[in-house]
Each structure stands twice: as C-alpha cells, then as structure tokens.
C-alpha cells in the first residue's frame, strides 16, 4: 500500500520550473467564504498527538482583514522540498482558499448550525493534500475537520514546533492494516468527543466559551451538534470512516473514496447510510475487491440506504489535490498517477456528489417516516445525478 506521497517526485520536479507567485486552486463552488485554523490535540488515553485542520463558513464581513492560509506550513514545505530535491521556496507559493483565523459563523444562539464532517487521509498521506476537496465541501455549508494520524503519515508538523515521521509498512496481508484502522477509528472518536469540550472548541476563532464576554458564558452550552455527524476519507481513511460507523452510531453517514476495507465491518456490514466512490478500475466484485463485495452483500441484508459510484478516467490518486495542482500549473504526463480526468472536473464530482448524498443521508438517518418522503428524496437524487455527474459516471448502484 504505497502512499501517494511516494509518487510525487515527478510532479514536484516539474513544480520547481513551473511555480511563479501565488498558486491557488479554482474558486470555491459554495456561497460561503471560509475561515480556517489548525491545532494539535493529544488523546491522553492513547498518547497520540493529532494535527487538525478546520475549514468552516466564516462570519467575517470584511475578508480583506485576513490573509489566505498557506497550503503548507514552513517545516512541511522545507521537508518536501528537501525530499524531492527542490529549491526551498518551491512550495511556499501554494495557498488555500480559506482565510487564516477568520471567525466561525455562529447563529444568534451561539451555535454552529451546519453539519460537521471528519476527514481521514490515505495511508502515508498528509491531510494537506486534501485541502482543496475539504474547502470545496466546506464552502457548501459544513465544518470539515481533516486529521493527520501519527505513525502512518510521512511527515507531521505540530503547532508546538515538533515534527513526526513514520516507518512505512508495505502490508503483506489484510490483517496487517487492521491495527492502523483501529487506531484511526479511536482518533476520529476522540475528535468527535472533543467537539463537546469547551477547552477544545475555544481554540476555534469566533468561539470563546471561556471568556466572560462570550454568549452563554457560565452556562452548559453545546456549540456543535455531535449526536449525528458525517465521516469520509480516502483509501485507508475511507476504510476507517466505515469502521468508525460500525462501532459508533454518532457517525450517521459515511463516504469511502476508493478505499479497500479491513476488519470486522466487512462481515458486519453497515445499516448506516453510506456511499462508495471508486476509481475507474476499482470494481465491487469478488475478483477485484473481495472486501467491497462481501461488505456490500452483508450490508444489503441489513437494509438501509447505500450508493456505489465509479468515476471514469480516474485512478486512486485522482481523489487527492494533486490533479488540481497539475491542472492549475498546466502540467501533463501524470495519467498513470492522476488519471485522464481533469482535476477541476474531479473536484466538481467529489464536492457535489458528496454534498448531495450527505444531505440525503442525513435526512434518511434521522428516520424520515413517511414513505412518500422517501420517494421524493429518491426522485430528487436522480435529478441531481443527471445534472452533475452523467458525463463521468460509469456505474451507479443503490438500494
């Protein structure tokens, strides 16, 4: 299970000749301007230090008072430059579309009224190469939290100045991946639990529950709705999202971006609403991916809403930001890594498909009782399908 970051050298070598000035992904599709912040959080029960990036609609009326957050912090940019023999400043020109430390948008009751989504990256991959997809979804009205899991990511830069690397493990069999998935599930549960901790949430710009001047100070207050949230991820991160839903009902809808499954969830299946998005050659068959084949069959027995989509012109790497960067910079020749699909088109499919399915899954997960409503939702979904994805979807199955 070689990480995408092991295959970046050709792209980064081209970047050393192509980058001039500020480099950004295309404009965001949603109506919300975004704020962002990063911080580390340590789970005392596991002694695992996580790095988190948060992307959220901002209440800032004048965004000119803020600057776009860089795509890579300094030490990470230098590490990547050294790893791929690039000039030190090569990656410092990359910028996100989110405003650094802009305040989060809260309601008059001082609560965050948008859905919360947790994102888990592919094995070996930094959360930072999924910023664009996280921002695109957040701009449609979500808080998206991307998580770096220690010990299975190439390089983590913590806010206290420390860094962590990893020992790459090439899994010889499926059972070797299970401890990594289990650790990630605990990480996701810890982040979810932390959203109910005022000391944790007070680090988010615009929230200051510890301040006497804040709304609701001294009262029991829940800023974020944490009884039902979504989780999604790429590769091992997608597998971890499904496993999290299998053991924790608070994960009420999940999306797996091209990730083989591991562990108990294959045999138990999921009744929780879920969607699988696959690359062009990743089939849900016993021959191509037995984990998906068995998982789907076991999930069908449980009932519940499910969706299976395969996107034409894609590879496993198409689900990262790399295709977007290559498109923005006009770089070609990476079809074996990134597929033939244009990065912007892939962003549209990931963002809109995830958004519309999440909306549908959330409504189903809160037990819509009238069958007429279910029929209306299914009809609505079919209209969305025709509108946004017909050109690139080679398969679609649901129940």
Instruction: Give CA–CA dist 328/251, Å, rounded.
Output: 35
Q: In angstroms, how far is CA 154 from the centroid of its own chain?
A: 17
CB atoms within 10 A of CB 46: 13
Q: Number of folded domains in the chain?
A: 1
Q: Are 28 and 136 in contact (CB under 8 A)?
A: yes
CA-based nearest residue to 344, from 391, 386, 306, 293: 391
Q: Are 130 and 351 in contact (CB under 8 A)?
A: no
Is the alpha carbon torsion for 2, 77, 20, 39 positive or negative?
positive
Q: Are 183 and 237 in contact (CB under 8 A)?
A: no
Kindly write down the DSSP assignment for every residue of 226-262, as one continuous string.
-SSEEEEEETHHHHHHHHHHHH-TTEEEEEEES----
Instruction: Give CA–CA dist 181/172, Å, rounded.
Output: 15
Task: Name the one residue in this structure whose structure tokens are 């829940």.
Answer: 222
In terms of C-beta distances under 8 Å and separation of at least 24 residues, what long-range contacts does 381-385 make, across chains too? Answer: 381/356, 381/357, 384/352, 384/356
SS3 state at 173: coil
Q: Which pTM does this prediction carry?
A: 0.88
Is the alpha carbon torsion for 255, 293, 123, 177 positive or negative?
positive
Domain that holds residue 269: 4-398
Question: Count of residues for the chain?
Answer: 399
In terms of C-beta distances under 8 Å and separation of at least 24 residues, what long-range contacts does 72-81 make, across chains too? Answer: 72/128, 73/38, 73/157, 74/157, 75/157, 75/163, 76/126, 76/128, 76/155, 76/157, 79/155, 79/157, 79/163, 80/8, 80/12, 80/155
From the number of C-beta atoms within 10 Å of its C-beta (0-12, 13-18, 19+), residue 306 rates as buried
Q: Which two tokens stand for residue 356?
A: 């519309």
Is the alpha carbon torsion for 346, 352, 357, 362 positive or negative?
positive
CA-based nearest residue to 129, from 165, 104, 163, 153: 153
Q: What CATH number is attached to the domain comprising 63?
A: 3.40.50.1820
Q: What letter would DSSP give residue 42?
A: E
Per-residue pLDDT of the chain (399 residues; tens, 9 = 90+): 555 554 555 666 565 555 556 788 899 999 999 999 999 999 999 999 999 999 999 999 899 999 999 999 999 988 877 876 777 777 788 899 999 999 999 987 778 888 999 999 999 999 999 999 999 999 999 999 999 999 999 899 999 999 998 878 887 778 999 999 999 999 999 999 999 998 899 999 998 754 444 444 444 356 888 888 999 999 999 999 999 999 999 999 999 999 999 999 999 999 999 999 999 999 999 999 999 999 999 999 999 899 999 999 999 999 999 889 888 888 788 898 899 999 999 999 999 888 887 777 666 555 433 444 444 444 444 444 444 444 566 665 666
Q: Are 197 and 220 in contact (CB under 8 A)?
A: no
């Amino acid at each position: 299970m070689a990480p995408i970051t092991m295959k970046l050298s050709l792209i980064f070598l081209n970047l050393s000749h192509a980058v001039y000035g500020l480099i950004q992904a295309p404009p965001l599709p949603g109506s919300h301007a975004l704020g962002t912040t990063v911080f580390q959080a340590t789970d005392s029960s596991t002694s695992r230090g996580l790095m988190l990036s948060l992307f959220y609609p901002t209440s800032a009326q004048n965004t000119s008072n803020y600057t776009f957050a860089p795509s890579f912090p300094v030490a990470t940019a230098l590490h990547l430059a050294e790893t791929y023999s690039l000039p030190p400043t090569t990656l410092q020109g990359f910028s996100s579309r989110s405003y650094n430390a802009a305040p989060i948008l809260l309601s008059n009751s001082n609560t965050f009224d948008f859905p919360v989504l947790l994102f888990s990256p592919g094995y070996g991959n930094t959360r930072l190469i999924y910023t664009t997809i996280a921002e695109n979804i957040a701009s449609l009205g979500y808080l998206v939290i991307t998580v770096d899991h220690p010990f299975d990511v190439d390089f983590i830069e913590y806010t206290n100045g420390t860094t962590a690397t990893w020992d790459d493990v090439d899994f010889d069999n499926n059972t070797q991946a299970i401890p990594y998935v289990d650790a990630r599930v605990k990480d996701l549960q810890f982040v979810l639990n932390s959203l109910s901790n005022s000391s944790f949430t007070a680090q988010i710009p615009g929230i200051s529950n510890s301040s006497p001047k804040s709304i609701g100070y001294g009262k029991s207050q829940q800023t974020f709705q944490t009884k039902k949230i979504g989780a999604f991820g790429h590769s091992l991160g997608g597998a971890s999202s499904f496993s999290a839903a299998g053991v924790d009902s608070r994960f009420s809808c999940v999306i797996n971006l091209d990730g083989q499954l591991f562990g108990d969830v294959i045999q138990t299946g999921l009744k929780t609403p879920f969607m699988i998005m696959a690359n062009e050659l990743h089939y849900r068959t016993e021959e191509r991916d037995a984990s998906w084949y068995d998982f789907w069959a076991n999930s069908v027995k449980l009932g519940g809403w499910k969706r299976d989509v395969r996107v034409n012109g894609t590879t496993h790497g198409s689900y990262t930001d790399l295709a977007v960067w290559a498109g923005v910079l006009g770089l070609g020749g990476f079809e074996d890594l990134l597929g033939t699909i244009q990065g912007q088109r892939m962003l549209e499919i990931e963002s809109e498909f995830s958004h519309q399915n999440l909306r549908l899954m959330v409504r189903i997960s809160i037990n819509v009782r009238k069958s007429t409503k279910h029929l209306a939702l299914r009809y609505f979904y079919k209209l969305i399908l025709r509108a946004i994805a017909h050109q690139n979807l080679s398969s679609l199955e649901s129940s």
